[in-house]
Every structure is written in structure tokens, then in C-alpha cells.
Amino acid sequence: MKKPSTGLVYSERFSDHNTGHNHPERPARVIFAYEFLKKSDIFKDLILIRPKAATLKQIKSVHDQDYIERVERACSKGEHLLDSVDTAISANSFQVALLAAGSVIQLADAVMNEKIRNGFALIRPPGHHAERNRALGFCLFNNVAIAVKHLQEKYGLKRILIIDWDVHHGNGTQHAFEDDPSVFFFSVHQYPYYPGTGGEHETGRGVGEGFTLNVPLKAGSGDQEYRHVFEEIFYSAAARFKPEFILISAGFDAHREDPLAHMNLSDEIYGFFTDVAVRLAHENGHERIVSVLEGGYNLDAISRSIYIHLKHLMTPSLVESK
């Protein structure tokens, strides 16, 4: 029997989150990437997963009731911004944000039920900046954090690893779990840079102390610096944690062609990042990885990088042969 392959969640409904003219987090990001994948050699082997909106109960596992109601009210009133000049919204944004969060849950369930080996959520709006009671940095609901809570509550998982390689620090995700020793949060990011968090001294709080690992890098850092971080700093810490499930906040905005940051990554490095995650999973006796789109604003670069990321998720032999 053929082993389950890699799942992909995508929907045309993600385009209904209208961020307005010239906003970098625009519908074309996911449309262009999906069309690129459809024309690629790997598309026929992907398992397409139908997205399903998250329930309000699932959203409330991470976000305050008052905040959820405020997002819904602002969208229904036709407001154009929420909480900051960066976070654009439209009439359909609340429903699309529920769909994005639910899509990650759908992938997590499919992995846990062994319908797929791993998966990628080609979704928007992104989520890792969203705080418990505040929209921030293009993000409304914290998609990865909501999926972590779902995995904890439904499956009783005790050791969940979050890898955030977006060029910006995942402040919202870190804050959701910094006092939770069952979640190891790792972020490598440009620093100092938006949103201003993610210093080396941020290592968790209380019983969660030591389960947050931030590696800030200077502008201009490239493949060599990132390889050093993953091989010499991150890997041993994550291996000691022995993750039962790995979620990736997969931002592709540290790419050298991205217009919003100042890093120098190649397309190929995203394959290396993926290999590290796959190796960690294999060494802990499973293949449970769900990757979630965060940033990435050059249409060509994000599409090529997603393709390489998916190809390495789909081909564990690339890891095993190294």
C-alpha cells in the first residue's frame, strides 16, 4: 500500500480578504503560488485537503472573546484597518480568517489520523503576529497557535515544536506559549526589526523558562548564517525536546528578492530548513509536520521557495540519503 503523501490546503476564498490597493499582503500571493504549483512536477502527488472554518471555540483557545467580537464587528461595518495601519481588513476578512485558522486544524487532524504524512497550508491572512487581544502585522488570528491548542486538547500531545523562520519575529506565537513547557518555540529572524521583539534574552517565563529560543540575526545575513543557526544552535535543543509534532511558521520573506526585509536567503535554503524539520520528526519516530504560510511578498520568490519546501516535505529520501 502506498504511504500517504503530503497534503495541501488552498481555497479561492482566501482572495476574499481584500487588503486594498498596493498592500504587500495581497491575494496574488497565494493565487500566484498555487498556479505555480499546479504547473509543477509535484502537484499530481499532493493530496488536496478541503479547508473548513475554525469554530469560535477553537479561536477562543488563543484569543479573547472581546477581541474576536471586535474583529467580526469591524469587518461587518466595512472598516479598512484594525488596530494598526498595517493590518488591513474588508467585509469578508473575519470569515476568511476563520477559514485560514481552520485549514491548519484540518491538516493537523489529517496528519494525526494518518491520512497524510505531512502538509502545507497555503493560506491568508497570516497569523504569527496576532496577539491574544490585538491584530498586528497583517495578522488577525494566530493560525499556528490555534492549531497547537487543538492538538493539545484533542490528542493530548505533550511536546509540540514550533519552528518560525519568517524574517519577522513571531511575537504572538511566542506570547501564547512562553509559560508552557509542553511547547518549544524557536524563531530566527532579522533583528532589530519589526515588531521589535525576539531578543536572545526572551527564553520563556515561569515553568516555560528555557522553552523559547530566539536567534536574532543582523540584516544581510544569508544561507551560511542561517545554516549555522539551524545546525549549531537550534538542532540540539530541539532534539533534546523530543517533539511529538512539528508546526512551521513558514515565512519566505527572508529571501534575497523580498521587498519588505533585508536578508539574503536563496530558494534552496528552504529545502535545508525543511530537511532539518523532517530529520527531527524521523528521529522521534514520526512524520508529523504541518507547515503554514506566513510572510513572503515577492511573487516569484515565494512561489519557487514554496515549491522547494514542498518537494523536500514530499521526499524524505532527500533527508535519509544525507
Sign of the CA dihedral with 254 first, then 124, 292, and 139 last: positive
The span from the CA of 139 to the CA of 105, in Å, is 17
Cα–Cα nearest to 188, from 213, 222, 220, 161: 213
Burial group, residue 120, by CB count within 10 angstroms (0-12, 13-18, 19+): buried
DSSP reduced 3-state for 321: coil
Residue 37 corresponds to which amino acid? L
Catalytic residue, chosen from 17, 129, 150, 168, is 129
| Residue spans of beta strands (DSSP E) within the chain | 6-9, 47-49, 81-82, 84-88, 118-121, 160-164, 183-190, 212-217, 245-250, 289-293
Tell me how many degrees the CA angle 54-309-240 measures, rounded to the nearest 5: 80
Q: Is 175 a catalytic residue?
A: no
Cα–Cα nearest to 177, from 195, 159, 194: 159
**Residue written as cell 488536496?**
48
Sign of the CA dihedral with 44 first, then 319, 271, and 188 last: positive
Catalytic center residues: 129
